[in-house]
Structure 1
Amino acid sequence: MVGRAKSNTKKRQILREEHDMIMARAVAIYQAELEKEPTEKKGRRMVCREVKKAYLTETGRIIKLSDRTLANLAKGGRRLSDFNAEKGWLTPEETEKVIEYSIEIAHQGFLLSHKRLKEHVDEILHA
């Protein structure tokens, strides 16, 4: 919403998405480095440093990258945000439906109780 501060949760979500994007860039670079000859390869720490430096020059923001996380992701590991998303009850599409329903009810001027919201979510889950 315009003119309102973002919640701490939303700030962390944005930061996590930004970190995942930068880490994906680092993984792509590191996997390309693994294809090179051993004498020409850059290590994962060097790749992390270069990606952090490039991101700093692009945006002016500092972001931390772990070389161990880079190695795990390059081997085919899963991101923490993907793992946590799998644990949720609702898919992203279902979550959007619940949000749309909540906004629709609010525009009509009705109060949305926790009980009614739970009933709607249960209807979606049973469908």
Structure 2
Amino acid sequence: MPCRRALSKTKKAHIDAEFQEEWVTIAANRYTEEQQSGKKKLKGVRAICKEVEKECYEKTGTSIKLPKSTVSDRASGKPSIRDFNAEKRWLQADEEEEVIDFAINAALRGFQLNH
């Protein structure tokens, strides 16, 4: 059974960013649907962001602030900076986890990684 350890600040920030990105995507999809609906009076980005922020709080109990410009950019097809930077990685996420697990296991056994 693997031992349980506290998350680092970087990992916590990564989890928070993924959570935020998920809700930005939801808002961008709603905004796109609204623009394509053909209604006479369309909701703007601000109104949709407020609705999604409220929905997020009701569902998860976490209050977030969605940037209107980011939601608008996603709706227009611009990739997130996380997606853009992910294309430039040397290792995929699963490969990174494998390397990290190996390093931790080696350290727990007393092997030095400088040989």
Question: Common fold, TM-score beyond 0.5?
Answer: yes
Partner of 1:78: 79
Higher relative contact order (CA closer than 8 Å, sequence separation 6+): 2
Structure 1, residues 65-119: CA drift from partner, whole Å, max 9, x if none?
1111111111111112112222322222331331232244235431223xx5xxx
Corresponding residue SS for 2:19: helix
Distance (whole Å) between structure 1 residues aligned to residue 105 and residue 11 of structure 2: 22
Amino acid at match of 2:31: Y
Distance (whole Å) between structure 1 residues aligned to residue 8 and residue 102 of structure 2: 22
Deviates more, 1:47-56 or 1:82-91: 82-91
Deviation at 1:26, TM superposition (A): 0.7
Corresponding residue SS for 2:91: coil
Number of matched pairs: 113
Deviation at 1:62, TM superposition (A): 1.1
Once the two structures are superposed, the pairs formed by residues 1-127 of structure 1 within 5 Å of their partners are: 2=4, 4-113=5-114
Distance (whole Å) between structure 2 residues aligned to residue 94 and residue 5 of structure 1: 21
* Higher share in helix: 1
Corresponding residue SS for 2:37: coil
Of all paired residues, the percent bearing the same amino acid is 38
Corresponding residue SS for 1:22: helix
Mind listing any 5+ residue stretches in structure 1 that lack a counterpart?
A: 117-127
CA RMSD of aligned residues (A): 2.0
Amino acid at match of 1:97: E
TM-score by length of 2: 0.83
Structure 1's consecutive aligned runs of 4 or more residues displaced over 6 angstroms after TM superposition are: none
Structure 1, residues 39-68: CA drift from partner, whole Å, max 9, x if none?
242111111000001101112211111111
TM-score by length of 1: 0.77
